[in-house]
Structure 1
Amino acid sequence: MKVFSICHVSIVMLSIIIISTNLMIPFYTVVAAETNCSNGDIVIAQSRVGTLPSGIPSFSVEITNACARGCSISNLHLKCGMFASAVLVNPKIFKRQDVDDCLVNGGSPLAAGSTISFKYANSFQYPLSLASATCG
């Protein structure tokens, strides 16, 4: 399930007439913030960065919100198989919630242009891909 809500900005100008003085006062209301997100806005990169003293390979992961339109993305879930690590991964950054369901950044928004990163160690590199996210 992919959850990308799309919002549009509307600025509405209303003219309020004050009868006693015949003044026109412009009144602006922001209806919603504009954001248009797509799956391509989430870039997941990982690479092998070394080996632990025990011989277990270690990997670095970077998850970037590459949205050029300024959209923040929250509730970011990745497909992650049976993800496990021989070194502690901060669960506020990346946490396996279930088989093939890992939550990024505790579900909090990842601002446009921001990258969140972590390292893990296992005998093999886990394939990570976007499962779902919420725009805005």
Structure 2
Amino acid sequence: MEAQTFVKLLLSVLFFILVQGSSKKCDLLSLQIQQTNLGKDPTNKFDMVFEVEVKNLCSCNLKSVFVHSQGFATSVMVDPKVFRQQGTSYLVNDGQPISSQSSVKFRYSWDHFFRMSPASILPEC
């Protein structure tokens, strides 16, 4: 009877470890992209200023973060170390890690906002 109890306890511990390990997995849902309309661009009466926040919701650091944004354009320069086109996507934070629960922000200016969605990430777990 003691052997059965030991095996049940061991299986319970292993199951707990597996569940905890799987909760650390990061996927594209771990990357939150929010845009805020800050109003008219004071240097260009036709454009609006938008602030973009790319936030890491994963418990691990995320590096090589890429974002989709079809047709993205801006009338003001965005620091290329923060956000730049690379192929058909846009690289965030120069590919450097974004810490867990941290974010990277940048602003652009155009007459409308551009939809942005996560393209790919590389978790550091």
Match of 2:109 in 1: 121
Cα distance in 2 for residues equivalent to 1:94 and 1:114: 16
User: Is residue 2:52 matched to residue 1:61?
Assistant: yes
Does the Cα contact within 8 Å between 2:36 and 2:50 map onto a contact in 1?
yes
Cα distance in 1 for residues equivalent to 2:110 and 2:32: 22
Gaps of 5+ in 2: 1-22
SS at match of 1:64: strand
Does the Cα contact within 8 Å between 1:94 and 1:103 map onto a contact in 2?
yes
Output the TM-score relative to the length of structure 1: 0.69
- Runs of 4 or more, structure 1, over 6 Å off, are none
What is the 5 A alignment of 1:48-127? 48-53=37-42, 54-55=44-45, 56-67=47-58, 70-99=59-88, 101-127=89-115
Question: Match of 2:85, as an amino acid?
Answer: R
Output the TM-score relative to the length of structure 2: 0.75
Does the Cα contact within 8 Å between 1:105 and 1:116 map onto a contact in 2?
yes
Cα distance in 1 for residues equivalent to 2:122 and 2:86: 17
SS at match of 2:94: helix
SS at match of 2:75: coil
For the aligned residue pairs, the C-alpha RMSD in angstroms reads 1.5
Gaps of 5+ in 1: 1-33
Equivalenced residue count is 100
Cα distance in 2 for residues equivalent to 1:114 and 1:85: 25
